[in-house]
Amino acid sequence: MAPLRRLREMLEEQAAAQFTAAIDSGFVSGIQSRESASQRPATAATSELNANGKRKQVDDLATTGHKRRRPSPLALRDIEAVRAIGAGGWGSVHVARVKRQSAHPLDRPGATFALKAVGKVSFRDLERNDKGSNQRHAVERRNAERNHLNALPWNPFIAGLVDVHTDLKNTYLTLEYGACGTLYTHMRDLPSLTDREIKFYFANLVLAIEFLHTHNIVHCDIKPENLVLGADGYLLLTDFGLAQTLHSNTSWNRMGTLDYMSPETLSREPLDSVEKRAAADWWAAAVSLFEMKTHCTPFECDSEAELKDKHKNSPLVWPPGVKAHPSLEGLLFRMLHYDLPHRLGATEVPEGKDGSMINREIRRHEWMKSINWDRIERKIATAPRVPNLIPDEDDRIHNKRFPEQSKVPGLPLKRPSPRLEWYEIKTEKEPSPRKKRRMSGQYSMCLPPGPLGPPLPRSPSMAVERGSIVVEA
């Protein structure tokens, strides 16, 4: 019997060692240890003898792994800005890196995020310029991006919100980071994209829009600059500064980047149906698809009136030298049709157990038949262009001015070496090749929200619900 007892003890010791190792490595969570809570020490630190025989305090997590299942939340002092990405309509965006050192197995020192700093003075200006009688609603509008992202579950095609911080001057949104640049940058640097790459990127965008519309959100500012590439070659949709709630009985503001705005957004007719509001995203997706193929937008213009005229009277013309497949030409011709009831993709159908919105017309179009939507949605399919190397932020030359500490007082900065820092070279001013985000009409109306009413009516000639838009509708 003694050998059997010894064998049983050895097996128990081995199982206990494997269990402890699994907890320390973070693979086991939510399981109580054999030691009862009453037998554990009350403090988060325990003592052990050091080399000199004296007791020293060590983190109980590093020794047992039982005290805390998750690391403590990151504070603003735990991250540092290492690079400036650019400035948007509401603030500046930086690359931020975790600098906190911890013994917790789930802590990741060196993890990289995108950090969007929005100045509180912008919020005050928004409230002062608001024409609505309810200032509280203006306060709600200033937090719209954070509220929309916070309400969304995680999705592989959306740059989600990780955390929010604040200091005396700014509010900081910590977002998922696409380390390999924007789609516009790749379009600018590459001579042309293949049809396989364009189909893949467009499928990513379609899945992102369907997800947003399923969760009652319309982006309202879709364009290649707001699509970033991850290390796996998939796209992430970012910048929700103009996002709107789909089902809302309050006024909508007509905002966006001019070349990407739909006829319904520019029209002075009321946006009284879901299809008209959702048209903002699907029209911008079609313009982005055209730009991926041709490196230009289909209706380039300098004013709102000129764009309206081109929407009504100008045919869809392909630039000379661009050869497009007939099925792609047909897809874009129908997606950019002026009349909404005859526009391809103007209807989304709720499918599946979760009621997710699916754009059947686009998914089943001849040009998209080769796309395996399920494999792309689960990120099983290999991207047609996977970056060879994730850029090292410490070894790259900066192409944007690094922020001054006085402008981000609570954010630690890691300045680049002088040889890598950006210097302004003054030359003759040239017109920017890209149009910045514009607001149609005058200041946006900001009316007080009323109680949530019945769902918006559907257009008589259309079958299903859709998205949203933004000046007073």
Q: What is the pTM (predicted TM-score) of this model?
A: 0.75
Q: Is residue 286 part of a domain?
A: yes
Q: How far apart are the C-alpha atoms of 323 and 330, rounded to whole Å?
A: 13
Structural domain span for residue 89: 76-422
CA 88 to the chain's CA centroid: 14
- Looking up tokens 């992430």 gives 236
Model confidence at 273: pLDDT above 70 = yes
Position with higher pLDDT, 400 vs 321: 321
**What's the pLDDT at 421?**
63
Q: How far apart are the C-alpha atoms of 375 and 58, rounded to whole Å?
A: 47
DSSP code, position 177: -
Total domains in the chain come to 1
Q: Is residue 427 part of a domain?
A: no
Q: Is residue 23 part of a domain?
A: no
What is the three-class DSSP state of 60? helix
Model confidence at 359: pLDDT above 70 = yes
Q: Is residue 255 part of a domain?
A: yes
Q: Is residue 70 part of a domain?
A: no
Q: Is residue 433 part of a domain?
A: no
**What's the pLDDT at 471?**
32
**What's the pLDDT at 380?**
93
Give the chain's end-to-end CA distance (angstroms, integer).
Answer: 86
Binding site residue list for ATP: 116
**What's the pLDDT at 12?**
65
Q: Is residue 257 part of a domain?
A: yes
Binding site residue list: 116
Q: Is residue 394 part of a domain?
A: yes
| 232 beta partners | none
Q: Which among 105, 109, 115, 140 has a CA at the least distance from the CA of 126? A: 140
CATH at residue 285: 1.10.510.10
Model confidence at 200: pLDDT above 50 = yes
